[in-house]
Amino acid sequence: MPRLRQLTFSRRERASRWLKERTSPPWSSLTERDTSSGYVYVLGSRRGADRRTYVGWCVDLDQRLAAHNSGRGARSTRGRTWVLLYAERYPTRNEAMSREVSLKRDRKFRAELALLLQDS
């Protein structure tokens, strides 16, 4: 008896099938805000003498900070309370992502921001 071959679908085919099955995509709630622009942010957290910073980019700063503080953010941010230390807005997501890379490499700037953290 011939063996059945498993069907594989490309990303485009999966997305197309997903759209046919659902009436409203999860990104429909994003329509009220400008999704073409992006933010770069630096978060800070302090636990005793340990001060940490995290650099990221997003479309909605408030939502992203809430995600980090609820444990749904990046793995390295889980289990800590984060505060927004610095943010910049860019007209495109690509510009925001490029700036994120440069901020991640700028350790001196991040160290200066970490000094702003108050004793909790």
Q: What pLDDT band is residue 56 in, cutting at 50, 70 and 90? A: very high
Average pLDDT, the chain: 79
Assess whether pLDDT exceeds 60 at residue 5: no
Maximum alpha-carbon separation in the chain: 71
Is-contact 51 117, C-beta < 8 A?
yes
> Whole-structure pTM over 0.85, yes or no?
no
78 assigned to some structural domain? yes
Sign of CA dihedral 54, 57, 58, 60: positive
8 assigned to some structural domain? no
68 assigned to some structural domain? yes
Q: pLDDT tens across 72-94, in order?
A: 888 888 888 999 999 999 999 99
Q: pLDDT tens across 11-31, in order?
A: 666 666 655 555 444 544 444
Average pLDDT over residues 49-61: 91
Distance (Å, whole) CA 82 – CA 94: 25
Predicted confidence at residue 48, as pLDDT, reads: 81
31 Rama sector, left if φ>0, alpha if ψ -120 to 50, beta otherwise: alpha
105 assigned to some structural domain? yes
Q: Containing domain of residue 86, as a range?
A: 37-114
Which residue in the block uniquely carries the two structure tokens 């997903």?
A: 18
Count of domains observed in the chain: 1
Assess whether pLDDT exceeds 60 at residue 64: yes
83 assigned to some structural domain? yes
Question: Exposed (0-12), middle (13-18) or buried (19+): which is 95, by Cβ within 10 Å?
Answer: middle
Predicted confidence at residue 17, as pLDDT, reads: 61
41 assigned to some structural domain? yes
What CATH number is associated with residue 72? 3.40.1440
28 assigned to some structural domain? no
Q: What pLDDT band is residue 44 in, cutting at 50, 70 and 90? A: very high
57 assigned to some structural domain? yes
